[in-house]
Amino acid sequence: MKNKVCLVTGANTGIGLATAKALGEKGARVIVSCRTEDKAEETFEAIRREFPHADLDYALADLSSQREIREMAARLREKYAKLDVLINNAGSWFSTFSRTEDGFERQWAINHLAPFLLTHCLLPLLTQSKDPRVITVSSDSHFHGKIHFDDVNLSQKYHGLRAYAQSKLANVLFTREFDRRKNLPTLSSYAVQPGLVKTDIGLKHTLGWHGFAWKIRRLGGKSPEKGAETSIYLASSAEVKGVSGAYWDNCRQKNPGKNAQSLQDASQLWELSQKMCGIGSYFNQ
């Protein structure tokens, strides 16, 4: 990975931190994206404790804010000449309904719209790479998901699990539709299922009972290092160069759920997401 530039969102903890560490160990320049400078510094320390020579940079944004996503991407476009790997890893789980400053339900905004918009904003850098890869961390939760086109914010029928499953299904549909619409053959997209991983995702914005359920559930989970393996493989392996649009689990392609295979939903979601992000033409800026 020498001379490769990789950006990992949600890199300060959990699967993202394990991913950033591994890419640092492999010699890439790793840009860790997190919310605050303090978190970025802690991330640097955590990576350099194990890999003192890791080549690191950071980029700050609260990914629930489209303004902050656009500003972070603009700073990166000024600073870098190319981006080889974008790993849309950041994700969240909320027990209760709330809206972002842009008016969208939080899981929809952070888990789906943020990867959709950030990828768009970084296309000028990705297209300068010889082998650009966009990896989006989804989940097998998408098997239970449905895109509620009549109310994607779920304002009428919010449930944390329903919102999470919908957003993770959107990751798989995005990955596939990105591949269908892209205008550069070398540009590849991958959706990843990390498996059940022992992280704090289910403790941060959950009510008592949901947090307790996650504490029990994650006992059977794997380590963040194991959970990061497929993302690392897709970022670094020559075998998967150009193998675009698919869903990956345990470093292998696997069939996604039925609702992830609808070309019509993929297309409708794409149009809706463009509108929600104020994007005119996704691949032509």
Binding site for ligand NAP (CB under 6 A): 10, 12-16, 34-35, 39, 62-64, 89-92, 110, 137, 139, 194, 196-197, 199-201, 204, 221
Task: Determine phi and psi for 211, rounding to 5 degrees.
Answer: -65, -45
Judged by beta carbon, residue 33 or residue 129, the one nearer ligand NAP is 33
CB 131 → ligand NAP: shortest distance, Å? 24
- From CA 158, how far away is CA 99, in angstroms rounded? 12
Judged by beta carbon, residue 194 or residue 257, the one nearer ligand NAP is 194
Q: What is the signed CA dihedral for 262, 263, 269, 274, rounded to 10 degrees?
A: 160
Place of tokens 């070398």: 186
164 is catalytic: yes
Judged by beta carbon, residue 55 or residue 68, the one nearer ligand NAP is 68
Q: In what order do the strands lie in the sheet with 85-88?
A: 55-60, 29-34, 5-9, 85-88, 133-137, 188-193, 246-249, 252-253
User: Of these residues, 58, 164, 190, 233, which one is catalytic?
Assistant: 164
Cβ atoms of residues 224 and 197 within 8 Å? yes
CB 232 → ligand NAP: shortest distance, Å? 13
**Span between the terminal Cα atoms of the chain, in Å:** 29
CB 255 → ligand NAP: shortest distance, Å? 17
DSSP 12-36: TSHHHHHHHHHHHHTT-EEEEEES-
Judged by beta carbon, residue 42 or residue 55, the one nearer ligand NAP is 42
H-only helix segments in 57-113: 66-79, 106-107
3-state secondary structure of 136: strand
Judged by beta carbon, residue 34 or residue 47, the one nearer ligand NAP is 34
Residues marked active site are found at: 164
